[in-house]
């Protein structure tokens, strides 16, 4: 089926550009209808909103939607814009895809685009008293000195509604009313794994509603990237999700390499794939540790950290870093593998397979752990797709969303591995997906480690890298979901707009849905099994 004709059928005014990827440019008035049709029509069924990117095109503000169908696997990019830069208003798609809600708040925060019919039009990362919208090209930074006053948390939120007769009204929605028992879980809380804040409304021990507040570690990485050269932007990806820095950097390198059309040597592909999988094990071990700690099993926490240390040692030998690896570069990797790498990895692989049994003995099988996790925080498959909750969370809900299988990159098409999918959607399934993935990652590594081809570890690149004009997108399976990089290039040595698809943002958006009706202790278990990393959410 030709998606292009299909879009033209629905919106005859649509235009197409094919720089980098196929983009359908749609007038803002038609976008909502088109999006709804694309999602609901049986033959298109774009049910997964991969990414929603706010854009400043210079003379207009707009949004780029990356859509994908979980049924057919096809993709389309929609673009819409408004010329009114003083009062930019676009139609919200948050009732079509649940994940759009939080992403549209991000677009509002950075570009000031107000989404019509969006129920909760507040800033998400920045303070409410922030002046201006930072990712706009005409943004004046001097208006925002470091503020020393407290930020007031509002219990009200704005909604811009379009009535039937075509008039806009500002509506105020209540988040929490005065009578509710609201506690702050976070930003400084042992179980939020970073500076994330949940305002939680309680009824006794039972959770009524959760409102996530992000942005405590927002560093404006996307804005910074706009003024950095491409090699310089690489250093920032390691600081997004520090437990999948190889993968995030792999995504960015892949996107740039695809855009400039470099052929990557086979050896590099192998090295990158092995490193990605080691990183995945590293991340899942930390996941295990932190989940155990959240549930009070402090001893199991140390087991994970003890064995993670071995991976870090392997990393340190080859990449020179333990947490911030700095390994992938455009056109290859920073340095060749350490002479001991193969031996160390093999040793680790056999050790890890043996020691995993202990993990299961002390925690997985434990009746208390099972009771804490089973049937707790069920996320249905539909919700997982609608929120865009990829990674282990999506796979635990029965959504086979592994990017390694869907859009193979690296040498994932050359290895055989199982995509772990559970159908329960509860915390225990989310936990088991990750534990089983450790074994699958070991299988992948075992298949590759003996066959690393000889050759160059780096392609010589030009000193100044320029990407031809166009829009590029590449995604990898990071440790906790589909991590995507979107680059809009105008042919300069630095990107015009760079957007990272955060794997954690949909998870945070889904917390309220997953948790409601659970206990406080369930929130902790759910937070642990969702396995989000705050720096990546806040960027």
Partner 1 sequence: MNSFFKYFHSLFSGILTLLIGMKTSMKVFLRKKVTEKYPENRDTLKISDRFRGTLVMPHDTENHHKCVACGICQISCPNGSIVVHFDTVVSEDGKKSKVLTNYEYDLGNCMYCQLCVNTCPHDAICFDNSFEHAVFSREKLIKKLNREGSTLVKK
Partner 2 sequence: MFDFSIVSSWIHNLLTGVMPEFWAIFLECLAIGIGILLFYAVLAIILIYMERKVCGFFQCRIGPDRVGKFGIFQLFADVIKMLIKEIISLKNSDKFLYALAPFIVIIASILAFSTIQINKGMEIIDFNVGIVFYMAATSLGVLGILLAGWSSNSKFTMISAMRSGAQIISYELSVGLSLLTVVVFTGTLQFSEIIQSQADGWLIFKGHIPVWIAFIIYLIAGNAETNRGPFDLPEAESELTAGYHTEYSGMHFGFFYLSEYLNLFIVAAIAATVFLGGWMPLHISGLDGFNAIMDYIPGFIWFFGKAFFVVFLLMWIRWTFPRLRIDQLLKLEWKILVPIGLFNLALMILVVVFKLHF
298 binds, among partner 2, partner 1, none (CB under 5 to 8 A by kind): partner 2
The pairing of beta strand 481-489 with beta strand 61-68: unpaired
Interface with partner 1, residue 367, by CB under 8 A:
yes
295, interface contact from partner 2, partner 1, none, CB < 5-8 Å by kind: partner 2
Closest to 318 measured CA to CA, from 330, 333, 336: 336
- Are 251 and 238 in contact by the 8 Å Cβ rule? The answer is no
Using CB under 8 A, pick the residue from 303, 409, 431, 483 that binds partner 1: 303
Question: Minimum CB separation from partner 1 for residue 129, in Å?
Answer: 27
* CA-only gyration radius of the chain, Å: 23
| Partner interacting with residue 400 (select from partner 1, partner 2, none; CB below 5-8 Å by kind) | none
User: Residue 352: which of 478, 445, 430 has the closest Cα?
Assistant: 445
Q: What is the DSSP letter of 519?
A: B
- Give the whole-angstrom CA distance, residue 525 versus residue 120: 27
Tokens 């008293």 identify what position? 129
Q: Which is nearer to partner 1, 220 or 321 (CB)?
A: 321
Site residue total, partner 1 (CB under 8 A): 34
- Least CB distance to partner 2 at residue 292 (A): 7
If phi over 0 gives left and psi between -120 and 50 gives alpha, with beta otherwise, what is residue 211? beta
How far out from the chain centre does Cα 185 lie?
22
What would you measure as the largest C-alpha separation in the chain, in angstroms?
Answer: 72
Q: Which residues contact 384 (CB under 8 A, 6 or more apart)?
A: 393, 394, 397, 398, 399, 401, 425, 510
Q: Which is nearer to partner 2, 295 or 498 (CB)?
A: 295
Of the ranges 129-137, 200-208, 299-307, 523-531, which one interacts with partner 1 (CB under 8 A)? Answer: 299-307
**What CA–CA distance (Å, rounded) separates 34 from 26?**
9
In order of 4, 22, 38, the CA distances from 9 in angstroms are: 9, 17, 11
- Asked if 335 interacts with partner 1 (CB under 8 A), we say yes
Q: How many CB atoms lie within 10 A of CB 76?
A: 20
- State the binding partner of 321 from partner 2, partner 1, none, CB within 5 to 8 A by kind: partner 1
Q: Per-residue x/- marks for partner 1, 370-409, CB under 8 A?
A: x---------------------------------------
> Nearest approach, Cβ of 295 to partner 2 (angstroms)?
4
User: Using CB distances below 5 to 8 A depending on partner kind, what does residue 267 bind out of partner 2, partner 1, none?
Assistant: none
Report, in Å, the least distance between residue 137 CB and partner 2. Answer: 44
CA dist., res. 428 & res. 424, Å (int): 8
Which among partner 2, partner 1, none contacts residue 36 (Cβ within 5 to 8 A by kind)? Answer: none
By a kind-dependent CB cut-off of 5 to 8 A, residue 296 interacts, out of partner 1, partner 2, none, with partner 2
Residues in the chain: 539
**By CB under 8 A, residue 334 contacts partner 1:** yes
Minimum distance, C-beta of residue 357 to partner 1, in the bound complex (Å): 9
Alpha-carbon distance of 487 to 474, in angstroms, equals 9
Q: Which does 58 bind (CB under 5 to 8 A by kind): partner 2, partner 1, none?
A: none
Helix, coil or strand: residue 85: coil
DSSP 371-406: HHHTTSS---HHHHHHHT--HHHHHHTT----HHHH
443 binds partner 1 (CB under 8 A): no
Residues at the contact surface with partner 2, assessed by CB under 8 A: 181, 183, 189-191, 202, 205, 292-303, 306, 362-363, 366, 368-369, 371-372, 519-522, 524
**Hey, which residues between 234 and 263 contact partner 1 (CB under 8 A)?**
234-236, 239
Binding site for partner 1 (CB under 8 A): 228-229, 231-232, 234-236, 239, 299, 303, 306, 309, 316-321, 324, 326, 329, 334-335, 338, 358, 361-363, 365-368, 370, 463
């Amino acid at each position: 089926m030709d998606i292009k004709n299909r879009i033209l059928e629905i919106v005859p005014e649509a235009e197409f550009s094919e720089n980098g990827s196929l983009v359908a440019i749609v007038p803002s008035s038609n976008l909502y209808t088109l999006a709804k049709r694309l999602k609901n029509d049986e033959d298109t069924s774009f049910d997964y909103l991969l990414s929603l990117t706010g854009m400043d095109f210079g003379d207009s503000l707009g949004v780029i939607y990356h859509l994908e169908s979980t049924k057919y696997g096809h993709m389309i990019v929609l673009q819409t814009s408004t010329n009114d830069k003083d009062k930019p208003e676009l139609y919200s798609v948050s009732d079509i895809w649940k994940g759009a809600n939080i992403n549209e708040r991000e677009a509002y925060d950075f570009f000031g685009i107000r989404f019509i019919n969006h129920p909760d039009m507040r800033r998400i990362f920045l303070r409410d008293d922030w002046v201006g919208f930072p990712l706009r090209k005409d943004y004046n930074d001097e208006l925002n000195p470091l503020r020393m006053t407290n930020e007031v948390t509002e219990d009200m939120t704005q909604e811009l509604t379009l009535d039937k007769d075509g008039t806009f009204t500002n509506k105020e929605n209540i988040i929490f009313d005065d009578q509710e028992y609201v506690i702050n879980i976070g930003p400084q809380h042992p179980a939020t794994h970073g500076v994330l804040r949940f305002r939680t409304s309680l009824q006794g021990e039972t959770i009524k509603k959760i409102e996530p507040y992000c942005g405590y570690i927002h560093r404006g990485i996307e804005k910074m990237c706009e003024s950095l050269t491409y090699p310089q932007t690489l250093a920032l990806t390691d600081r997004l999700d520090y437990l999948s820095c190889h993968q995030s950097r792999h995504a960015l390198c892949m996107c740039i390499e695809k855009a400039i059309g470099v052929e990557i040597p086979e050896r590099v592909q192998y090295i990158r794939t092995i490193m990605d999988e080691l990183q995945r094990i590293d991340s899942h071990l930390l996941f295990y540790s932190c989940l155990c700690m959240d549930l009070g099993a402090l001893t199991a926490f140390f087991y994970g950290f003890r064995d993670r240390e071995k991976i870090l040692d392997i990393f340190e030998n080859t990449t020179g870093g333990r947490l911030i690896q700095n390994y992938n570069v455009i056109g290859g990797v920073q340095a060749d593998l350490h002479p001991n790498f193969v031996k160390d990895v093999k040793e680790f692989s056999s050790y890890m397979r043996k020691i995993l049994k202990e993990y299961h003995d002390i925690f997985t099988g434990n009746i208390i752990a099972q009771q804490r996790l089973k049937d707790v925080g069920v996320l249905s498959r539909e919700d997982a797709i609608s929120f865009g909750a990829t990674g282990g969370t999506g796979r635990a809900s029965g959504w086979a969303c592994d990017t390694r299988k869907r859009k193979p990159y690296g040498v994932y098409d050359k290895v055989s591995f199982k995509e772990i999918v559970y159908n329960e959607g509860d915390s225990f399934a989310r936990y088991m997906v990750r534990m089983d993935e450790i074994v699958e990652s070991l299988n992948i590594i075992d298949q590759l480690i003996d066959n690393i081809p000889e050759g160059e570890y780096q392609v010589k690149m030009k000193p100044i890298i320029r990407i031809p004009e166009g829009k590029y997108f590449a995604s990898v399976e990071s440790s906790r979901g589909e991590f995507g990089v979107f680059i809009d290039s105008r042919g300069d040595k630095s990107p015009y707009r760079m957007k990272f698809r955060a794997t954690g943002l949909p998870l945070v958006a889904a917390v309220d849905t997953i948790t409601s009706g659970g206990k406080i202790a369930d929130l902790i278990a759910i937070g642990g099994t969702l396995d989000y990393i705050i720096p990546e959410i806040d960027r």
